[in-house]
Amino acid sequence: MLYACGSNGNGQLGLGDQEDRNTWTLVDIDINDKPLALVGGGNHTVLVDSVGTAYITRDNRFVSVNHPDNKQWKLASATWDSCFLVDDDNSIYEFDISGWRFILIAHLKSSIFSIKSGLSHTVLLADDGLYGWGNSRRGQCGKDELKIDTPEKFNDTIVNPDRFACGKDFTVILKDEELHILGNSRRFGANAISTSSSSVLSSWSSVLLLDELKMLGNNSHGQYEIPIENDEHIDLITLGSEHGLLVSGNSVRTWGWGEHGNCPMPTTIHGVKGVYAGCATSFLFVNEDKT
């Protein structure tokens, strides 16, 4: 079962209306297993279910969108105003939301593991390295070009999807005991920061070094205040545009900027298997039968 809360001005929570929610609200979508992907852009949400069917919010509901060649989707990411889906055959499609159609971007011979987007750029990890495309005016796609139209490889040393993440106008990469910031590093004061962490998450303007539970970057709205005690274990954690969600045991907690209801009070929910966050939107996948 899928639950949602937060910003809903364009029906991006898929609840049948355009009212924001400040408590976890059941979404009317028939999924019984943990989604392969659930990502949110400015005013849309994209879900890939466990069998590779994609759903995108339209008219306040999640609507399924068929693959042009009837293949299965496996990965998805969302920029501010668009989204990208990757199929089982490692073809990358952009979904044009206003035209409601898929556009083939590229087909890679290598296998794609992970795809992540910032506001207007996207980075994917394949078994031969990292590829980037989109707005690269700040160098966030790893190359000194204003805009990159199709995926171009820029790094072949990263093999773990936990070691890269995309912010609004930057990409962060963990390698050689350092966090490297490609693109706009103004919020971090440096373009490389020493760390022992092996896993990184990014919101639009701040970054979480998971092993150290240390936030870097913007702290204008409580982004650093991760609600966890030293002796507690984090089972699930994610970052949205300027907020975070975590699950510790049966306790679902949120922090950061929550003006649209996307940061409800700590709630006890059994069987949470997935946490997802978009632009002031928050989602939980709960498998209530298998607590």
Contacts of 69 (CB under 8 A, 6+ apart): none
Q: Report the residue from 12, 82, 114, 117 that binds another protein according to the rule CB under 8 A.
A: 12
Shortest gap between Cβ of 122 and another protein (angstroms)? Answer: 15
Query: Of the candidates 184, 124, 117, which has an alpha carbon nearest to the alpha carbon of residue 151?
Result: 124
Shortest gap between Cβ of 121 and another protein (angstroms)? Answer: 12
Query: Of the candidates 274, 279, 226, 231, which has an alpha carbon nearest to the alpha carbon of residue 253?
Result: 226
Query: Of the candidates 146, 156, 98, which has an alpha carbon nearest to the alpha carbon of residue 120?
Result: 146
Shortest gap between Cβ of 202 and another protein (angstroms)? Answer: 13
Alpha helices in the chain, H assignment, sequence order: none
Asked whether 102 and 70 are in contact (CB, 8 A), the reply is no
Contacts (CB under 8 A) with another protein, residues 109-148:
119, 137-138
- Could you say whether residue 257 binds another protein (CB under 8 A)? yes
Phi-psi label, residue 242: left if phi above 0, alpha if psi -120 to 50, beta otherwise = alpha
For 137, counting Cβ atoms within 10 Å of its Cβ (0-12 exposed, 13-18 middle, 19+ buried), the class is: middle
Nearest CB to another protein, comparing residues 9 and 266: 9
165-194 footprint of another protein as x/- string (CB under 8 A): ---xx----------------xx-------
Q: Which stretch binds another protein (CB under 8 A): 102-110, 123-131, 148-156, 253-261?
A: 253-261
13-52 footprint of another protein as x/- string (CB under 8 A): -----------------------------xx---------
Shortest gap between Cβ of 188 and another protein (angstroms)? Answer: 13
Q: Which stretch binds another protein (CB under 8 A): 28-36, 99-107, 252-260, 268-276?
A: 252-260
| Alpha carbon 227 to its chain's center | 20
Shortest gap between Cβ of 28 and another protein (angstroms)? Answer: 21
- In our burial notation (b when 16+ CB lie closer than 10 A, e otherwise), range 162-200 reads bbbbbbbbbbbbbeeeebbbbbbbebbeebebebebebb
Q: Which stretch binds another protein (CB under 8 A): 122-130, 150-158, 189-197, 238-246?
A: 238-246
Phi-psi label, residue 289: left if phi above 0, alpha if psi -120 to 50, beta otherwise = alpha
71-110 footprint of another protein as x/- string (CB under 8 A): ---------x------------------------------
For another protein (CB under 8 A), the number of binding residues is 27
Q: CA-CA distance, 131 to 63, in Å (whole number)?
A: 29
Q: Report the residue from 32, 160, 198, 220 that binds another protein according to the rule CB under 8 A.
A: 220
Q: CA-CA distance, 7 to 149, in Å (whole number)?
A: 30
Binding site for another protein (CB under 8 A): 7, 9-10, 12, 42-43, 80, 119, 137-138, 168-169, 186-187, 204-205, 218, 220-221, 240-242, 257, 259-260, 279-280
